[in-house]
């Protein structure tokens, strides 16, 4: 088994907290196939048209229930459009030729083309990955990230209108034990620790009013069950600066 190393995403840590990237349509093509249906069941098709992804004029006339698919049919989503804008609940799917199997990727609620409400993501085995809440395309409110093997909550936290951690922040092990708990309060200030789904500490650092000034990221050798190295960074408004890097001897491990 090769050594597995987790390197915490540095650019992610510059942000006030780890939130999901803005959801996008990952069709891998410049064109999409739009199939319009008579009702929300999407059983009986009215018409079909292929549109370029930048053809906003034609899209602005699209109103009704649609199935929007990649040209090869491997990825598609279904839901309602109102003058080209997503409305209500939309679901996206992937078809896996290897299995073969069709799986639910995401389920999200929209209003006027913007995310408003729950945004759920799943593994191809239908295990939840994330349960986020959005208001006007911004991740606001109580958020949950899951262990993708057991489907149990792994990280529970709350974000404000700026996407910053506020109030309770709770990291759980795969067995449901508390790994770390803190409270960022209303001013988004506190000490953040992030763990992987096996309960391994992968990064830590202090937040001050939603901004991270410095953090440490850890590399873990899963084969030998030990930390192999760590890097300490400072963060400015424009850059990420490596202050030091350290390799751990086999008998030395940082505290979790």
Give residue 109's pLDDT: 98
pLDDT digits (tens, 9 = 90+) for 69-86: 999 888 999 999 999 999
Q: If pLDDT is split at 50, 70 and 90, which confidence band does 250 have?
A: low
Query: Count of residues for the chain?
Result: 256
Q: How far is 90 from 56, CA to CA, in rounded Å?
A: 20
pLDDT digits (tens, 9 = 90+) for 222-238: 898 899 999 999 998 88
The secondary structure element, H or E, covering residue 73 is none
- Sequence-ordered list of residues with C-beta below 8 angstroms from that of 184, at least 6 positions apart, any chain: 164, 165, 166, 167, 169, 190, 207
Q: What phi, psi does 57 have (nearest 5°)?
A: -70, -50
Q: Per the structure block, which two tokens stand in for 31?
A: 């064109």
- CA 111, distance to chain mean position in Å, is 20
Give the Cβ contact number of residue 209 at 10 Å.
11
pLDDT digits (tens, 9 = 90+) for 89-108: 999 999 876 666 789 999 99
Q: How far is 98 from 85, CA to CA, in rounded Å?
A: 33
- Name the 3-class secondary structure at 6: coil
> Which residue, among 139, 118, 116, has the nearest Cα to 22 in the 3D structure?
139
- Sequence-ordered list of residues with C-beta below 8 angstroms from that of 223, at least 6 positions apart, any chain: 1, 2, 3, 4
Q: Does 9 have pLDDT greater than 50? A: no
> Which residue, among 67, 116, 114, has the nearest Cα to 95 in the 3D structure?
67
- The upper half-sphere exposure of residue 55, i.e. CA atoms within 13 Å in the direction of its Cβ, equals 14
For tokens 């960074």, name the residue.
233
Q: How far is 76 from 56, CA to CA, in rounded Å?
A: 19
Determine whether 168 is exposed, middle or buried from the number of CB atoms within 10 Å of its CB (0-12, 13-18, 19+): middle
Q: Does 154 have pLDDT greater than 60? A: yes
Asked if 13 and 194 touch (Cβ cutoff 8 Å), the reply is: no
Asked if 39 and 50 touch (Cβ cutoff 8 Å), the reply is: no
Full-model pTM: 0.79
Q: Per the structure block, which two tokens stand in for 149?
A: 């093997």
Q: Does 5 have pLDDT greater than 80? A: no
């Amino acid at each position: 088994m090769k050594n597995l190393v987790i390197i915490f995403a540095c650019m992610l840590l510059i942000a006030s907290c780890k939130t999901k990237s803005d959801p996008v349509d990952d069709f891998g093509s410049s064109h999409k196939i739009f199939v319009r249906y008579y009702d929300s069941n999407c059983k009986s098709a009215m018409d079909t048209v292929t549109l370029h992804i930048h053809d906003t004029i034609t899209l602005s006339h699209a109103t009704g229930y649609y199935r929007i698919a990649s040209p090869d049919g491997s990825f598609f989503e279904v839901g309602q459009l109102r003058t080209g804008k997503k409305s209500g609940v939309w679901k996206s799917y992937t078809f896996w030729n290897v299995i073969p199997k069709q799986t639910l990727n995401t389920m999200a609620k929209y209003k006027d083309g913007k995310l408003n409400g729950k945004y759920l993501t799943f593994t191809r085995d239908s295990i939840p990955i994330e349960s986020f809440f959005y208001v006007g395309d911004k991740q606001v409110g109580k958020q949950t990230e899951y262990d993708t093997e057991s489907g149990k909550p792994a990280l529970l936290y709350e974000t404000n209108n700026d996407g910053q951690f506020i109030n309770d922040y709770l990291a759980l092990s795969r067995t449901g034990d508390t790994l770390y708990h803190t409270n960022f309060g209303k001013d988004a200030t506190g000490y953040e620790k992030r763990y992987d789904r096996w309960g391994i500490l992968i990064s830590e650092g202090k937040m001050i009013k939603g901004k991270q000034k410095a953090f440490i990221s850890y590399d873990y050798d899963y084969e030998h069950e030990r930390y192999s190295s760590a890097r300490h960074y400072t963060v400015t408004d424009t850059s990420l600066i490596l202050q030091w890097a350290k390799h751990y001897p086999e008998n030395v491990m940082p505290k979790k």
